[in-house]
C-alpha cells in the first residue's frame, strides 16, 4: 500500500535501521517502505534532516550514513525533473530545493568523512542540473571556505569542486559549455592559484609535521585535478598569464621528497606524494599533448624532471600509476616532430630503451605472483583489448611513439637488445625465461604501427614478424608440457592473437590444435589467452574485410576437441567463471552454426548446468551474458531453419528457466524472457501458443513483475511475441485488457514509455480492429493526457510515430472519429500543433520514416475534408512538404533497420543499462511489410487523389513550390522515378 503521509525523522530512522538488518525479509520490507516513502512530497528534506543529526552513538552513525546514501540516491533520481527517464515518482518542491541548496554545503563541511563524501556527491549531482544558472551562490560559497583554518573543510569543498568541474572534461565544446567555463574561471581561477601557493608555503613550513602535511598534500592533489578540468578544453588566459607560477609549483612537487610521507614497507598503496606527482604529470601531459605554445619553453626541463622521477621509481605496484603516467607524458613528447631535437641523439634513444622501456617490460616478482594467485587481475592489465593501463602497455606505447620519429634507429637498437635477450634465454631456458618474455614484448612494441579491436592493420616493414614467429613463438606454442614456462606461453599466445590479421587461413588452421591443447593448461592465464585467441581468430576477416578468414566449415574438424577443452574449464568447480572462455563458446557456436545440430543437446545441457551453478551467486555479469548469448546462438542457428525443433528446445529450456524465475535471480530474468520470446517467434505460424506459453501468460501480466525496471524491455518483447503468434487466443481468453493494463502502467513513466509504444504498436498491428474498437477512445485519451502533462521531444516522437502507424493501418477517418469523440477538431489540432512541427524539428529515420510516409499518405490523399477550407489546405500542404522531405532526405534510410554489424562482427557484451542479447535480437517490426516501395505507394496515392481533386491539389502544389522550391522540385523527381 502506498504511503499517504510524510514520514517523521524518527520513522525514517527506524526504516533505515531495518535496511541494515541481517534478516533478508526485514531488509526487503524496509526497502519497499523506502521506495514508497520517496514518492511523498518532502521526503528528501526529511532525509537531509536525519543526515544532519549529530550523534556519537555508532549505530546511529551507521543509520546516519545510510540516510546520506539514500539522500544522494534521491537527488540522483529525482532532481532533474526533465530527465528523459523520469524521476521514479520523486518530487522535490521549489521551496525544498532552495532549502537543500542553502544548507548542503555547510552540512558537507561539518559532517564526518563518510557522510561528507555522500554530501559532496549530492552537491555534484545537483550541480549537473542547476549549476551555474540556478545555483549562482554555490561557487562563491565553496571559494569562501578556502580561507577556513580547518583543512577538513578545505578538502571537503575542493573535493566537491573537483566533482562538479569534471563535466568540463572529455566532452565536445559548445557555447553553453564555454559560458559555464568562463563563469567558473572568473570566480575560481585567482583564488585557486592563491590557495595553491598558500598550501605550498604551509608544506614548506610543516615539513617535519606529518599530521599537518597529509591534508595539505590531499588539497594539492584536488587542486591539480581542478586545474586539469579548467584547462581541458583550452588554455584560459589567466593560466597562460600565470604559467610560470603554476609550473614553478609543479616542478617543486615533482622533485619533492619527504620520508615522513613515504612508507618503505608499503608495496601496493601509492603515497600522498605519489598521488600528487601523478596529478601534476597528468597536467603536464595535457599541456604537452595540446601543443600549448606558452608551455613549450618549460617542456625540456619537465622532460628531464619526469625522466629522473621515473628512473627513481621502484618496481612495486604502488608506483605503477605514477610510472605509467610519466611514460605517457614522455611518449607524447617523443612522438611529436616539434620536439624531435630533444630526443634525436642516438645515446638518448638507447637510454630510453635500456633504462625506461626494458625495465618496465620485464616480469616482476609481483607479476609472477599475480599470474599464479590472482590471474583475473593479471589478465585485466595484460590483455590486448583491456582498458587497464600497465607499465608494459605504456612502455610499448613509448616505443611506438619513438618509431614515429626515429623508426630506423629505434628498430635497430631494439633488435640488438632482442638478440641479446634471446641469447640470454638460450643459455639457460629454465632460469632465463623472463628474458625471452621481455624480448617478445619488445618486438611487439616496435612492430605494430597501427591496430584496433580487429587486430594489427599496419606493421613496421623493418621487422620480419613471420620470421620471428616461426623461430621463437611457434616453438613455445608447440611445447605440450603445461608446466614449462607458462608465462612465456601466455605471451606467445598473445603474440599469435595480436598478429591474427597477418596470418593466412592455413596458418590459423595450423594454430587451432595448438591453442586447443593449451585450453588444458592448469594456468588460468594460459587457458584464458587460448580461448580469447580462438575467439579472435573466428572474427578475423579475409582481405576483402567482409568474409570470415576462418570459420564455418573450417572450424568443424576442431569442434569436438574445442568444446571438450572449453567445457572442461566451465565444469571445473575450482575455477572462477571465465568470461573469455564463455565468449569463445558463444563465438564457436555462432561460427559453426550450420554444423552444430548434432551437438545441440549435449552443449545445451552443459550450458543449462552452468546456469544452475551461477544462479546461486551471480558475480560475473560478462560471463553470465555470454552464457545466455550461447543459448540464444543455438536457438537461432537451429530454429531459424528448422522450426520443427522449437518444441525440443522448449522441452530442454523450460525446466531450467522456470527454476531461474522461481529463484528470482534478478540478473537472469531479462535473459530468460528474451530467449522465451525468441523461441515463441520461431514457432510455426499455425502452431498457436501451446500449453506451456498459455499457462505462462497470466503471471506475465502481473504488475509486480513489471516493477523491476531491468525486466521491462525483455518482458515487452515477450508480450509482442505472444501477440504475433496468438492474438486471437489472447482476445478469446479475455487477456487483451491485461495487455493494455501493462501498456497503461508503462506509459505512466518516462523510463518505460519506449516499451509502452512497442507494446501498443504490436497490439495495433496484430489485434483485429473489431476487438480494438471499444478500447480506442480510452487508449487515445491516455496518450493525449501524457502529451498534455509530460510533453518531451522523445514522447512527441513516439506518439506521432504511433499516430502514423494507426492511420496507415486503419485510415484517417477512423482516427478522426475517435479523436473527435474526445474533442471536436482534435486531429487537426494534433497535426498542426504537434505532429507536423515534430517532423520538421526531429525528422524520422529508418522504420519510423517508412511508417510516417504510409501514415502521411493516408492523411494527404485519403482525407478530402482537408481540401475543403483554408486551414485544412494549409495542413495538407505542410503534410505533403513533410512527406517529400522524408522521401528525399539521405538521412531517412527509409524502412531499414538500424546499422548493425553481423553476428560475427558485433562486439557483444554485457550492458548494465539493458541486458540485450545480440543473438536473440530481431529486426524492428514492420507494420507495413507489404509495402516494399514507399515512394511508389506515395506517388500512386497522389495520382489517385488528383483524379478526384486535381484543380485544388495542383493549386496547393504550386503554392508549395513558391514556399519551398527545392523540396517540390524533389517531388517531381519522385514522380518521374516511378513513371508518373
- The three cell numbers of residue 297 are 619553453
Cell of 74: 534521491
Long-range pairs, 474-478, Cβ under 8 A, ≥24: 477/511, 477/514, 477/515, 477/518, 478/514
The one-character DSSP state at 456 is E
3-state DSSP call for residue 157? helix
Question: pLDDT tens across 575-631, in order?
Answer: 999 999 999 999 999 998 778 887 888 999 999 999 989 998 899 999 999 999 999
pLDDT at position 1 is 37
pLDDT averaged over 10-residue windows placed end to end, the chain, 980 residues: 71 94 91 90 93 84 94 94 82 94 93 92 95 95 96 95 95 94 97 98 96 97 98 96 97 97 94 98 95 91 96 95 96 91 92 96 95 94 76 94 95 97 96 97 95 89 96 96 96 96 94 98 97 96 85 89 96 93 96 82 92 90 96 93 90 90 90 96 87 91 88 95 94 94 93 95 96 95 92 94 96 93 93 94 93 93 84 88 88 65 57 81 92 88 82 83 79 72
Residue 709's pLDDT is 87
User: What three-state secondary structure class fits 742?
Assistant: helix
The values of phi and psi at residue 208, to 5°, are -105, 10
Q: How far apart are CA 706 and CA 954, in angstroms?
A: 52
- Residue 11, classified by CB atoms within 10 Å of its CB into exposed (0-12), middle (13-18) or buried (19+), is middle
Residue of 932, 933, 954, 928 whose CA lies nearest to 942 = 954
Phi, psi of 859 (to 5 degrees): -60, -45
Q: State the DSSP string of 77-100.
A: HHS-TT-TT--TT----HHHHHHH
Region label for 575, one of left (φ > 0), alpha (ψ between -120 and 50) or beta (otherwise): beta
Between β-strands 448-452 and 455-459, what pairing exists: parallel, antiparallel or unpaired? antiparallel
DSSP classification of residue 136 = T
State the Rg of the chain over Cα. Answer: 33
Cα separation, 363 vs 392, in Å, equals 9
Which residues lie below 8 Å from residue 69, measured CB to CB, with a gap of 6+? 118
Q: How many residues does the chain have?
A: 980
pLDDT at 899: 44
Could you tell me the CA-to-CA distances from 147 to 16, 30, 196, 203, 617 in Å, in that order? 36, 43, 12, 16, 50
pLDDT of residue 918: 94
Write down the pLDDT at residue 459: 95
Cell numbers at 438, concatenated: 621481455
| Separation CA 805–CA 859 (nearest Å) | 12
Task: Determine the straight-line distance between the first and last CA of the chain, rounded to whole angstroms.
Answer: 64
Q: What is the pLDDT of residue 903?
A: 52
CA distance 788 to 792: 10
Sign, CA torsion 812/814/816/819: negative
**C-alpha cell, 730:** 489472447
Q: For the chain, give the longest Cα–Cα distance.
A: 98
Which residue has cell 567558473? Answer: 184
Which has the closest alpha carbon to 462: 402, 548, 543, 551? 402
Cis check: omega of the bond before 559, within 30 degrees of 0: no
Amino acid at each position: 500500500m502506498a504511503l499517504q503521509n510524510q514520514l517523521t525523522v524518527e520513522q525514517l530512522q527506524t526504516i533505515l535501521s531495518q535496511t541494515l538488518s541481517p534478516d533478508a525479509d526485514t531488509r526487503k520490507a524496509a526497502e519497499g517502505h523506502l521506495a514508497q516513502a520517496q514518492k511523498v512530497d518532502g521526503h528528501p528534506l526529511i532525509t537531509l534532516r536525519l543526515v544532519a543529526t549529530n550523534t556519537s552513538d555508532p549505530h546511529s552513525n551507521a543509520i546516519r550514513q545510510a540516510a546520506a546514501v539514500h539522500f544522494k540516491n534521491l537527488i540522483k533520481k529525482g532532481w532533474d525533473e526533465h530527465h528523459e527517464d523520469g524521476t521514479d515518482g520523486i518530487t522535490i518542491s521549489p521551496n525544498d530545493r532552495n532549502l537543500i541548496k542553502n544548507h548542503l554545503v555547510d552540512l558537507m563541511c561539518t559532517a564526518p568523512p563518510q557522510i561528507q563524501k555522500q554530501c559532496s556527491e549530492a552537491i555534484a549531482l545537483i550541480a549537473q542540473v542547476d549549476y551555474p544558472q540556478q545555483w549562482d551562490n554555490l561557487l562563491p560559497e565553496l571559494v569562501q571556505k578556502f580561507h577556513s583554518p580547518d583543512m577538513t573543510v578545505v578538502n571537503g569543498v575542493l573535493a566537491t569542486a573537483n566533482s562538479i568541474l569534471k563535466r568540463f572534461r572529455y566532452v565536445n565544446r559548445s557555447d553553453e559549455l564555454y559560458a559555464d567555463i568562463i563563469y567558473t574561471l572568473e570566480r575560481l581561477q585567482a583564488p585557486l592559484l592563491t590557495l595553491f601557493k598558500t598550501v605550498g608555503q604551509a608544506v614548506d613550513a610543516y615539513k617535519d609535521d606529518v599530521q599537518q602535511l597529509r591534508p595539505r598534500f590531499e588539497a594539492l592533489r584536488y587542486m591539480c585535478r581542478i586545474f586539469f578540468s579548467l584547462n581541458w578544453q583550452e588554455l584560459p588566459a589567466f593560466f597562460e598569464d600565470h604559467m610560470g607560477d603554476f609550473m614553478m609549483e609543479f616542478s617543486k612537487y615533482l622533485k619533492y621528497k619527504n620520508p615522513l610521507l613515504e612508507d618503505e614497507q608499503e608495496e601496493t598503496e601509492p603515497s600522498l606524494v605519489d598521488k600528487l606527482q601523478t596529478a601534476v604529470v597528468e597536467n603536464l601531459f595535457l599541456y604537452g599533448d595540446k601543443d600549448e605554445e606558452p608551455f613549450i619553453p618549460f617542456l625540456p626541463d619537465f622532460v628531464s624532471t619526469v625522466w629522473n622521477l621515473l628512473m627513481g621509481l621502484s618496481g612495486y605496484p604502488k608506483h605503477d600509476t605514477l610510472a605509467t603516467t610519466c611514460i605517457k607524458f614522455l611518449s607524447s613528447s617523443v612522438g611529436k616532430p616539434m620536439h624531435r631535437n630533444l630526443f634525436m641523439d642516438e645515446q638518448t634513444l638507447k637510454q630510453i630503451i635500456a633504462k625506461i622501456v626494458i625495465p618496465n617490460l620485464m616480469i616482476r616478482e609481483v607479476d609472477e605472483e599475480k599470474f599464479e594467485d590472482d590471474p583475473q587481475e593479471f589478465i585485466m592489465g595484460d590483455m590486448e583489448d583491456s582498458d587497464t593501463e600497465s607499465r608494459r602497455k605504456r612502455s610499448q606505447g613509448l616505443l611506438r611513439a619513438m618509431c614515429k620519429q626515429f623508426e630506423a634507429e629505434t628498430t635497430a637498437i631494439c633488435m640488438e637488445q632482442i638478440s641479446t635477450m634471446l641469447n640470454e634465454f638460450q643459455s639457460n631456458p629454465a632460469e632465463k625465461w623472463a628474458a625471452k618474455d621481455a624480448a617478445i614484448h619488445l618486438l611487439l612494441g616496435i612492430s605494430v604501427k597501427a591496430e584496433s579491436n580487429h587486430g594489427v592493420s599496419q606493421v613496421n616493414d623493418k621487422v620480419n614478424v613471420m620470421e620471428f614467429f616461426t623461430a621463437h613463438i611457434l616453438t613455445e606454442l608447440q611445447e605440450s608440457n603445461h608446466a614449462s614456462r607458462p608465462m612465456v606461453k601466455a605471451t606467445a599466445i598473445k603474440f599469435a592473437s595480436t598478429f591474427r590479421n597477418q596470418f593466412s587461413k592455413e596458418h590459423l588452421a595450423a594454430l587451432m590444435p595448438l591453442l586447443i591443447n593449451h585450453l588444458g593448461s592448469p594456468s588460468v592465464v594460459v587457458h584464458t589467452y587460448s580461448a580469447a585467441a580462438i575467439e579472435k581468430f573466428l572474427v578475423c576477416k579475409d582481405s576483402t574485410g567482409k568474409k570470415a578468414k576462418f570459420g564455418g566449415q573450417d572450424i568443424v574438424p576442431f569442434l569436438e576437441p574445442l568444446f571438450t577443452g572449453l567445457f572442461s574449464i566451465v565444469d571445473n568447480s575450482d575455477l572462477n567463471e571465465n568470461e573469455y572462455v564463455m565468449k569463445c563458446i558463444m563465438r564457436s557456436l555462432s561460427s559453426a552454426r550450420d554444423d552444430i545440430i548434432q551437438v545441440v543437446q549435449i552443449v545445451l545441457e552443459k550450458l543449462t548446468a552452468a546456469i544452475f551453478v551461477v544462479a546461486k551467486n551471480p558475480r560475473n555479469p560478462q560471463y553470465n551474458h555470454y552464457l545466455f548469448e550461447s543459448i540464444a546462438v543455438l536457438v537461432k542457428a537451429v530454429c531459424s531453419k528448422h522450426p520443427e525443433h522449437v518444441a525440443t528446445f522448449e522441452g530442454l529450456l523450460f525446466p531450467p528457466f522456470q527454476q531461474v524465475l522461481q529463484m528470482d535471480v534478478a540478473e537472469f530474468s531479462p535473459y530468460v524472457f528474451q530467449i522465451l520470446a525468441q523461441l515463441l517467434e520461431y514457432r510455426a505460424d499455425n502452431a498457436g501458443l501451446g500449453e506451456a506459453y498459455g499457462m505462462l501468460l497470466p503471471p506475465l501480466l502481473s504488475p509486480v513483475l513489471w516493477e523491476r525496471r531491468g525486466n521491462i524491455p525483455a518482458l515487452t518483447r515477450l508480450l509482442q511475441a505472444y501477440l504475433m503468434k496468438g492474438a486471437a487466443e489472447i482476445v478469446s481468453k479475455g487477456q487483451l485488457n491485461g495487455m493494455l493494463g501493462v501498456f497503461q502502467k508503462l506509459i505512466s513513466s518516462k523510463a518505460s514509455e519506449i516499451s509502452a509504444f512497442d507494446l501498443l504498436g504490436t497490439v495495433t498491428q496484430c489485434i483485429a480492429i473489431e476487438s480494438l474498437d471499444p478500447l480506442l477512445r480510452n487508449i487515445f485519451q491516455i496518450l493525449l493526457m501524457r502529451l498534455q502533462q509530460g510533453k518531451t521531444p522523445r514522447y512527441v516522437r513516439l506518439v506521432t510515430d504511433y499516430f502514423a502507424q494507426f492511420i496507415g493501418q486503419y485510415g484517417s477517418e477512423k482516427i478522426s472519429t475517435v479523436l473527435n469523440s474526445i474533442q471536436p477538431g482534435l486531429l487537426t489540432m494534433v497535426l498542426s500543433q504537434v505532429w507536423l512541427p515534430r517532423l520538421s524539428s526531429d525528422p524520422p529515420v529508418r522504420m519510423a520514416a517508412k511508417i510516417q510516409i504510409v501514415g502521411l499518405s493516408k492523411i494527404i490523399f485519403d482525407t478530402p475534408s482537408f481540401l475543403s477550407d483554408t486551414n485544412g489546405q494549409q495542413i495538407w500542404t505542410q503534410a505533403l512538404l513533410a512527406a517529400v522531405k522524408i522521401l528525399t532526405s539521405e538521412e531517412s534510410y527509409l524502412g531499414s533497420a538500424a546499422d548493425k554489424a553481423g553476428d560475427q562482427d558485433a562486439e557483444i557484451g554485457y550492458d548494465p543499462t539493458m541486458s540485450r542479447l545480440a543473438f536473440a535480437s530481431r529486426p524492428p517490426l514492420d507494420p507495413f511489410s507489404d509495402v516494399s516501395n514507399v515512394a511508389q505507394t506515395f506517388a500512386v496515392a497522389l495520382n489517385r487523389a488528383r483524379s478526384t481533386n486535381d484543380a485544388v491539389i495542383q493549386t496547393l502544389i504550386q503554392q508549395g513550390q513558391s514556399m519551398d522550391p527545392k523540396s517540390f522540385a524533389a517531388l517531381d523527381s519522385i514522380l518521374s522515378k516511378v513513371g508518373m
